[in-house]
Amino acid sequence: MQFAFLNGIAIHYQTIGAPKGKPTLVFANSLGTDFRIWRDVIVRLAGDYAILTYDKRGHGLSDIGETPYEMDDHVSDLEALLDHLQVRDAIICGLSVGGVIAQGLYARRKDLVRALILCDTAPKIGDADSWNARIRTVEEDGIAALADGILERWFTPEFRRSDNAEFIGYRNMLTRSPAAGYAGTCAALRDCDYTDQARQIGVPTLCVVGEEDGSTAPELVLDMAKRIPAARYEVIEDAGHIPCVEQPDALIAVMRAFISGLDAGGT
């Protein structure tokens, strides 16, 4: 396992090398998960791209630090990790809050970002009332009290079968997430709005959403794509909020097509 002290906390990350000249893909995970959600994507892409993935603060094996968070805290952690590893000109692929972090990173450090892949995310997600209600429930009753509703938005009914061991595993990942880190990131999402910044994105951008996403619905992701100059929009069929789990091959196909366009000098 790989760890680094950044911004006063230990960040857990993983790097997978590739032949010289291959582009670097950076993966940022969603709320209530860790970087293992990208496994089925990463194992199919390893060797074709250099890969970096990490657990954002308050998630996985990374430190919690001081809560509540601001989105700038998450952005600063990814910025520091890329600087620590001397990664530049990367393709940043972020899911949900990971996609918000990716947008914030571009706004702050354009030199680090060659392109963006924004999965099931938006410049602003949810409203203050819904986030405050979620924070109160987590602080009083724990994440498990919200798990059924969250998982309904994350996954399709077919995936949520009681005999699907993979579904049970992702429920465990969610409910075993540190409550303080989860609630702290809810506060960061509550207070973050990159709507104006979306219009200023000047790198090639792919906006992807699961057809049955109950957290960031296709129309929300499409609205984001319309705001970003020349962004590409793709819908993954038979997937909810986390296509990298339910439909990794379909997600990889659109990612490869997008990245091939970068290699050809297109957008």
Residue 267: predicted pLDDT: 47
Report whether 107 contacts 208 (CB < 8 A): no
Q: Was domain 2-263 assigned CATH 3.90.1150.10?
A: no
- Class of residue 173 by CB neighbours under 10 A (exposed 0-12, middle 13-18, buried 19+): middle
Residue 264: predicted pLDDT: 63
Residue 36: predicted pLDDT: 98
Report whether 240 contacts 155 (CB < 8 A): yes
Query: What residue ranges do the domains of the chain occupy?
Result: 2-263
**pLDDT tens sequence for the chain (267 residues):** 999 999 999 999 999 999 999 999 999 999 999 999 999 999 999 999 999 999 999 999 999 999 999 999 999 999 999 999 999 999 999 999 999 999 999 999 999 999 999 999 999 999 999 999 999 999 999 999 999 999 999 999 999 999 999 999 999 999 999 999 999 999 999 999 999 999 999 999 999 999 999 999 999 999 999 999 999 999 999 999 999 999 999 999 999 999 999 976 544
Dist. CA 32–CA 184, nearest whole Å = 11
Residue 265: predicted pLDDT: 56
Residue 69: predicted pLDDT: 98
- In terms of Cα–Cα distance, which of 55, 60, 50 is closest to 24? 50
